[in-house]
Chain A
């Protein structure tokens, strides 16, 4: 394999991993507060659809990103209202959000299938991007890749050394106790869910404005679900999400690698790889059940209803 191809593969790995990082970080915060939101896929699709529509209508990709974030948040408010305020079953509600988001995004985006836009241009960081190899691999990306690193750093710091991080964890571990010491449990959960929605919406925008600047129905292709597995794989630790997302990114672009090595394989068979990898990862996590249990937020998926 020649050297340039190797650089290209690393570059593509980072690009492919970025939406997974965004979704998984958002979901991690959400789950840390004790809420299991299985609606990522629906929120990502809504972000992708509305981001694309806004970009086409206004002509500004930046506005597309804002629209995508808002779309993700609107979807997550729906979820929060049902799962937090109306204490519905979180698993079923999350599934509903995905089904609803898939349908709604398909409906809204129907008139925009096949349109082309410019998308968001890469922004090579001055000087840094001139470094050989590293410059190309790390510093010649579009702004959202850098943003995913910023968000990673922020969340890492938040859960490591801030009161906010502690508060969210308290709510996710023991909402009754958190409530007793005066933490507004419902508000914290709403906030965490909204944050997750915003991140998923943004990931959607990454797909439809950067990764493949176009809209097609169901274009997220299960990334929301893969990100959910990623959070478990990372045992709710931001640094392991980063690592895991890039591993999955690499699995998704295997066709590039294989071409580089001179193999021919069916694109459909290679497309199975990230999903198969996810299953393998799930098996590996589950084989260490005791450890997985230790890092799972204690109140994950358990509805909380304040006793008045």
Chain B
């Protein structure tokens, strides 16, 4: 029998809420090392290949930025929802719809020239994501449908819609029947920061969104209302906050941000529509939001780590011949360990007091 037990803390430990992600990362690294050993790899070399080697040159860091941008945009939107206790799992679908909606306009404007093209495309992408989010909000506020399930269903519908597009009406007529659209014109492509790298200006969209949402949450009444709604629904109602309006706001904002991420991806590093425009950014962003402690700055760092797991997966595939799906495995482990370590925020581990100690300490109370 284990000699330890859990004891509820008087109040949640702030220190632990910051240490918990660290513990989770360490535990993930240890488990990863064991896993690599079991696969017959040198664990240190393999971990180095996965987590360090991708970042040993400037190119690696710019590639990290390419992935941080969509992850941060999605996660910052999800954070708003989670803060309000709206379990929006739909960033993936909103991301895809953003890419699809923006991509559709970009294809319509293939012949168009001028610098107005890109803003129009970006706007339509964000709008598509927003409308997809609006659907969830409508189902939630008007019909009371559970948002976890509706958003997941909408993710699958969005994916099938994209597949329909690239297999059907949006397929490139000169594309040898591949399920891909034509390449977007230069006027509908995000400018890169340097011609040597793929990093484009979407990283600034992400940082701007972080700044805006951070201000919103820490300085405005609206942000305060969202936080209160999440902490204590009854209190929010008592204070006269418009619950429905807040739900609409967080879901629309998240939809627009994820949609912007999607359209930035297709007009940025992808350059066309194809079935693989999202490597699961919308789902990974859920982990980012949790790992980043629902704080904008934390989310930026967590995005970097999750972005690294994508690059590590590719690196491990190339250098070690391991399947790329290592990425998903590491992401899952990370979230699992995080949730386990989060226990330490509200509980402390104590040694079980001996049976006698209990009886003697409770006696005076009874006497």
**Partner-B contacts on A (CB < 8 A):** 38, 42, 78, 82, 86-89, 91-93, 95-97, 99-104, 106-107, 110-111, 217, 221-222, 225-226, 228-229, 232, 266, 268-269, 271-272, 275-276, 278-279, 282-283, 285-287, 289, 305, 308
Contact = CB atoms under 8 A, between A and B. Distances in A.
B323 A110 contact: yes
Contacts of A276: 153, 157
B281 interface: no
Interface string B292-327: 000000000000000000000000000000011111
Contacts of A217: 325
Contact of B340 (A86, A228, A232): A86
Given A91-B148, A268-B163, A272-B161, A103 B327 contact: yes
Nearest to B153: A275
Contacts, number: 136
A289 B144 contact: yes
B356 to A, nearest CB: 15
Sorted nearest first, the 6 A-B pairs with minimum C-beta distance are A103-B328, A100-B332, A110-B323, A106-B325, A268-B164, A286-B144
Contact of A279 (B145, B324, B325, B343): B145
B156 A275 contact: yes
Main secondary structure of the interface of B (DSSP, over half): helix
A93 B153 contact: no
Contacts of B18: none
A204 B150 CA distance: 23
Given A82-B339, A225-B152, A266-B168, A283 B328 contact: no
Contact of B336 (A78, A89, A91, A268): A78
Contacts of A283: 139, 143, 145
A220 to B, nearest CB: 11
Nearest to A226: B153
A99 B333 CA distance: 9
Contact of A88 (B89, B323, B343): B343
Interface residues of B, number: 46
A308 B152 CA distance: 39
Given A107-B323, A229-B149, 10 more contacts: A95-B286, A96-B335, A103-B328, A106-B325, A107-B325, A110-B324, A268-B160, A282-B139, A282-B143, A289-B144
B146 interface: yes
A272 B332 contact: no
Contacts of A221: 156
Contact of B146 (A78, A222, A286): A286
B87 interface: yes
B157 A272 contact: yes
Contacts of B160: 268-269, 271-272, 275
Contacts of A103: 325, 327-333
A96 B336 contact: yes
B154 interface: yes
A89 to B, nearest CB: 7
Q: Which residue of B153, B287, B333 has the most chain A CB atoms within 10 A of its CB atom?
A: B153
Nearest to B138: A283
Nearest to A83: B339
B339 A93 contact: yes
A103 to B, nearest CB: 3
A272 B163 CA distance: 11
A308 B5 contact: yes
Nearest to B89: A95
B156 A222 contact: yes
Given A100-B329, A268-B168, A278 B153 contact: yes
A99 B342 contact: no
Interface in B339-354: 339-340, 342-343, 347
